[in-house]
């Protein structure tokens, strides 16, 4: 009995919880979900390559440019030479898809609170960066069509309407199959989208330092053992995603963080041989841009569509 009392009182720190929940998720939930429903056929390479050829003529504006996820940003990015925008999809309380990066509106808007608790009507009264508005997904799509740009649509939310909203979008406008790639950190969202419509091109976003570097709390982990354990967790999760999960989802596109490529945790040649295309993020320095576009010939997202020289 003593042991149960001890376990019941055991206070897990947030890191331990993150590790355990991720392991449970990847090792049990994801494989079970997939195995009972079957593997998916490979996403069309010719369609993906058609889109990537268009995108490769310039950089991809990360979060659409400045101000993030706004139509003003798309126009500025296009003028600066971007061929595509990467944008973040979220849902309002009343079920409207809008583009916004953070959960809370505080950093970017003249207001405060969680976006998912607000109605579209309220969101439309807010300013982004003083002069722009949060666009709906439909407004954003009209804009990229008009600007003749491509879109990498990152699905950030678990909301069960999102999958249907995304798949309906393509059904109602077949031109979008050749203009939009749906991307996400969450394999189950991509799986659900492809199960409904296998023709939608999707890509899995991955960063292999999820446990060793917390972007919200970037202080270095000093304990050697803890760091080793976390590195191992990072590698196992990434291995599952790049191998097993990629095959079950039938992915032809992976979006690794640039550091994973620069530090050779993602082997560009191997994926090339496998017929898997790579797009990386977020490449801001001129030398890195050179390296990715000229040496590796990989499309990349950037916060700075213009070169550093031209920005000054
Ligand atoms: C944000 O700014 C707009 C325009 O300046 C204004 O109409 C709106 O009421 C402001 N919203 C809040 C919550 O302050
Ligand atoms: C989606 O989630 C909501 C609330 O969580 C639930 O009421 C609704 O039935 C769900 N819809 C579907 C199609 O699963």
Q: Could you say which of 3.20.20.190, 1.10.10.410, 3.40.605.10, 3.40.50.300 is the CATH number of the domain covering 14-311?
A: 3.20.20.190
**Distance in Å, CA 98 to ligand 1 centroid:** 18
Structure tokens at 222: 């000093």
**Distance in Å, CA 215 to ligand 2 centroid:** 32
Instruction: Categorize the per-residue pLDDT at 24 as very low, low, confident or very high, splitting at 50, 70 and 90.
Output: confident
Helix (H) or strand (E) holding 151: strand 150-155
Summarised one tens digit per residue, pLDDT across range 83-100 is 999 999 999 999 999 999
Report the C-alpha gap between 22 and 235 in whole angstroms.
13
Which residue matches tokens 């550091």?
259
pLDDT for 70 beyond 80? yes
**Distance in Å, CA 91 to ligand 1 centroid:** 21
Contacts 24+ apart (CB under 8 A), 187-193: 187/30, 187/241, 187/245, 187/249, 188/30, 188/33, 189/155, 189/158, 189/162, 189/163, 190/249, 190/251, 191/33, 191/34, 191/40, 191/248, 191/249, 192/163, 193/155, 193/163, 193/166, 193/167
Ligand 1 neighbour 111 (Cβ under 6 A): yes
- Residue 290: CB atoms within 10 Å: 12
Ligand 1 neighbour 127 (Cβ under 6 A): yes
Stretch 9-25: mean pLDDT:
70
Instruction: Categorize the per-residue pLDDT at 216 as very low, low, confident or very high, splitting at 50, 70 and 90.
Output: low
Report the C-alpha gap between 165 and 61 in whole angstroms.
24
Whose C-alpha lies nearest to ligand 1, atom 4? Answer: 127
Q: For a substitution probing ligand 1, which of 106, 111, 125, 131 has the most ligand atoms within 8 Å of its CB?
A: 125
Give the model's pLDDT for residue 209. Answer: 82
pLDDT for 38 beyond 80? no
**Distance in Å, CA 78 to ligand 2 centroid:** 38
**Distance in Å, CA 161 to ligand 2 centroid:** 8
Report which bound ligand comes closest to the CA of 131. 1
**Distance in Å, CA 160 to ligand 2 centroid:** 6
Peptide bond just before 282 cis, omega within 30 deg? yes
pLDDT for 10 beyond 80? no
Stretch 35-39: mean pLDDT:
76
Ligand 1 neighbour 124 (Cβ under 6 A): no
Q: For a substitution probing ligand 1, which of 105, 113, 122, 126 has the most ligand atoms within 8 Å of its CB?
A: 126
Closest listed residue to residue 238, CA positions, set 278, 277, 280, 208:
208
Stretch 8-29: mean pLDDT:
70
Q: Which residues pair with 104 in a beta bridge?
A: 114
Ligand 1 neighbour 250 (Cβ under 6 A): no
Instruction: Categorize the per-residue pLDDT at 39 as very low, low, confident or very high, splitting at 50, 70 and 90.
Output: confident
pLDDT for 1 beyond 60? no
Domain map (residue ranges) of the chain: 14-311
Q: Who has greater pLDDT, 312 or 141?
A: 141
**Distance in Å, CA 17 to ligand 1 centroid:** 39
Whose C-alpha lies nearest to ligand 1, atom 10? Answer: 126
Whose C-alpha lies nearest to ligand 1, atom 7? Answer: 125
Ligand 1 neighbour 129 (Cβ under 6 A): no
Q: List the Cα angle 141/161/85 in 5-degree steps.
A: 25
Q: Who has greater pLDDT, 228 or 50?
A: 50
Report which bound ligand comes closest to the CA of 163. 2
Stretch 11-38: mean pLDDT:
72
Instruction: Categorize the per-residue pLDDT at 12 as very low, low, confident or very high, splitting at 50, 70 and 90.
Output: low
Ligand 1 neighbour 110 (Cβ under 6 A): yes
pLDDT for 71 beyond 60? yes
**Distance in Å, CA 128 to ligand 1 centroid:** 10
């Amino acid at each position: 009995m003593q042991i149960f009392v001890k376990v019941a009182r055991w206070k897990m720190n947030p890191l331990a919880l993150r590790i355990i929940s991720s392991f449970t998720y990847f090792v049990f939930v994801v494989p079970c979900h997939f195995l009972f429903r079957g593997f998916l056929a490979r996403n069309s390479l010719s369609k993906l390559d058609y889109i990537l050829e268009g995108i490769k003529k310039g950089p991809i504006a990360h979060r659409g440019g400045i101000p993030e996820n706004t139509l003003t940003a798309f126009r500025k990015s296009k003028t600066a030479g971007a061929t595509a925008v990467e944008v973040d999809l979220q849902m309002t309380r009343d079920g409207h898809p809008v583009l916004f990066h953070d959960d809370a509106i505080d950093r970017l808007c003249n207001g405060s609170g969680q976006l998912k608790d607000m109605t579209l009507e309220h969101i439309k009264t807010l300013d982004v960066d003083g002069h722009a508005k949060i666009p709906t997904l439909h407004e954003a799509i009209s804009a990229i069509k008009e600007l003749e740009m491509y879109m990498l649509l990152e699905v950030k939310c678990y909301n069960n309407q999102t999958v249907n909203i995304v798949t309906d979008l393509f059904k109602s406008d077949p031109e979008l199959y050749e203009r939009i790639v749906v991307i996400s950190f969450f394999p189950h969202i991509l799986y659900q989208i492809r199960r409904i419509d296998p023709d939608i091109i999707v890509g899995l976003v991955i960063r292999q330092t999820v446990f060793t570097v917390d972007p919200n709390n970037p202080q270095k982990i000093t304990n050697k053992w803890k760091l080793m354990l976390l590195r191992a967790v990072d590698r196992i999760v990434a291995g599952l995603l790049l191998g097993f999960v990629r095959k079950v989802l039938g992915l032809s596109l992976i979006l690794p963080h640039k550091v994973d490529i620069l530090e050779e945790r993602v082997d560009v040649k191997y994926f090339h041989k496998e017929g898997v295309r790579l797009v990386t993020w977020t490449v801001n320095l001129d030398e890195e841009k050179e390296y990715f576009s000229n040496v590796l010939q990989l499309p990349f997202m950037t916060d700075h569509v213009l070169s550093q020289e031209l920005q000054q």
